[in-house]
Amino acid sequence: MTNASGTPHPGPGAASPVYLDSASSEPLHPAAREVLLAALDQGYADPRRLHGPARSARLLLDNAREAVAGCLAVRPDEVTFTASGTDAVHRGLLGLHAGRARRGATIVHTAVEHSAVLHAAHWTAGEPVAVAVDRLGRVAPDEVARACHRAPGGATVAAVQSANHEVGTVQPVAAVAEALGEVPLFVDACASTGRVPLPGGWAAAAASAHKWGGPAGVGVLLVRKGARWRNPFPADDRVDERASGFENVPAALAAAAALQAVVAEHDMVGARQSALIDRIRAGVAAVPDVEVVGDTEDRLPHLVTFSCLYVDGEALVTELDRRGLGVASGSACTASTLEPSHVLTAMGVLTHGNVRVSLTRDTTAADVERFLAELPDVVRGIRAEIGL
């Protein structure tokens, strides 16, 4: 059954769909919705101009920048709004690389960075160097420093994520920064912003509003005051020289409002989500031939990933979705790449039948129990289809 828009609609008596993929995108926070609607009437003008509507838009943009800076404990002039989290990653990483072009040639990154980091690193002229991680997905600070020291032509920048987007493991960012010495550190904090405090030691960092309940299409680039950063892309005559294009002022303000709200409720929501994830980890581990991956303690509070032997990840996601449970698969082999998750491969863990469950701020214990009740039957059914 479908509704007027053609999307699936539960039939009579069917349970309501449960969305368990906030790591891809968190539903819009009520605080963001309220601010966005109000700002649409006041933030439409170009904040570069001098007339009244433009000054109003500029004030809103400045307010958004100050609010984000306050949440992340940075200076307002270190905050830039970009078109997406990916854009912020590219600008942050490549800007540090360009700023040290005379002192090095190589970008060093962990083997479990988001694809946005990997694509940016391979876009440069040099060949990037990947640093191995342990079975929990964590990198050793000394290994990053050693890779920078040995990098061909010298390292321009090291990229170490705040926490992994697939398995939730938190990285020792501050310790890495201390071990690096003069090599600047780029931190992809898209998965963790609003969930855990922003770590220190970075020269540039990136975040993405839709990951914390802000509108999609708003990224945040942080460039530390005094960092050797140079715009890697063509310049644009904007309010902020680190950005390009007309800023989406209402969306930036809504993103800031959502971040303020999630930071304020972090302790309560984080504790509840962490307990629910513990329940999922225990329940999933009871299913035969299933491996739960990532650190059990030093992790993001809302996310867990597991892999099921003899099961295809896409089949798992599809069948769970048919039963009203929306999850993600980080290692599903697709027709275009036929490659498993590079994160799980780098960790040396099972990549078959991978499922990532990530909770929203509204996920309930009943939602979790429903997922745990359905999962064993789904796994058994898929295995039975191939004669297991």
**Do 270 and 304 fall into the same domain?**
yes
Q: How many domains does the chain have?
A: 2
Residue 186, SS3? strand
- Is 24 within a domain? no
10 assigned to some structural domain: no
Report CA dihedral (360, 366, 371, 376) to the nearest 10 degrees.
Answer: 160
The last residue of a domain, from among 202, 233, 264: 264
Clarify whether residues 281 and 249 are in a common domain.
no
- Both ends of the chain: CA-CA distance in Å? 32
Mean pLDDT across the stretch 13-25? 89
Lowest-confidence pick of 27-31, 45-49, 327-331, 335-339: 335-339
pLDDT at 80: 97
pLDDT band, residue 4 (cuts 50/70/90): very low
Q: What residue numbers bound the domain in which 314 lies?
A: 266-385
Q: Which two tokens stand for residue 324?
A: 């009203």
pLDDT in tens, 138-183: 999 999 999 999 999 999 999 999 999 999 999 999 999 999 999 9
Q: Is residue 97 part of a domain?
A: yes
Residue 186 banded pLDDT, cuts 50, 70, 90: very high
pLDDT of residue 14: 62
**Do 66 and 82 belong to one domain?**
yes
The reported pLDDT for the residue numbered 155 is 97
Tell whether 307 and 206 lie within a shared domain: no
Do 253 and 278 fall within a single domain?
A: no
Question: Cα dist. 310→126, 168, 284 in Å?
Answer: 39, 24, 16
| Of 202, 230, 264, the domain-final residue | 264
Q: Are residues 106 and 252 in the same domain?
A: yes
Mean pLDDT within 8-23: 75
Residue 335 is predicted with a pLDDT of 36
Q: Specify if 20 maps to a domain.
A: no
Instruction: Please check whether residue 190 lies inside any domain of the structure.
Output: yes
Residues 6+ apart with CB under 8 A from 84: 208, 216, 217, 218, 219
Query: Is the pLDDT reported for residue 323 higher than 70?
Result: yes
- Distance, C-alpha 192 to centroid of its chain: 6
**Domain with 118 in it: what CATH number?**
3.40.640.10
Question: Which of 244, 264, 284 represents a domain boundary (last residue)?
Answer: 264
Told to judge if 333 belongs to the known catalytic residues of this protein, a careful annotator would answer yes
pLDDT at residue 338 above 60?
A: no
Query: pTM for the full model?
Result: 0.93
CATH of the domain at 278: 3.90.1150.10
Q: Do 76 and 217 belong to one domain?
A: yes
Residue 242 φ/ψ, nearest 5 degrees? -85, -5
> Is residue 21 in a domain?
no
Given 71, 148, 308, 333, the catalytic residue: 333
Find the Cα–Cα–Cα–Cα dihedral 19, 24, 28, 32, rounded to 10°: 160
pLDDT in tens, 96-143: 999 999 889 999 999 999 999 999 999 998 899 999 999 999 999 999
Q: In this predicted structure, what is the pLDDT of residue 235? A: 87
How far is CA 89 from each of CA 51, 150, 200, 337, 362, rounded to the nearest angstrom? 33, 24, 17, 23, 29
Contact 128, 108 (CB under 8 A): yes
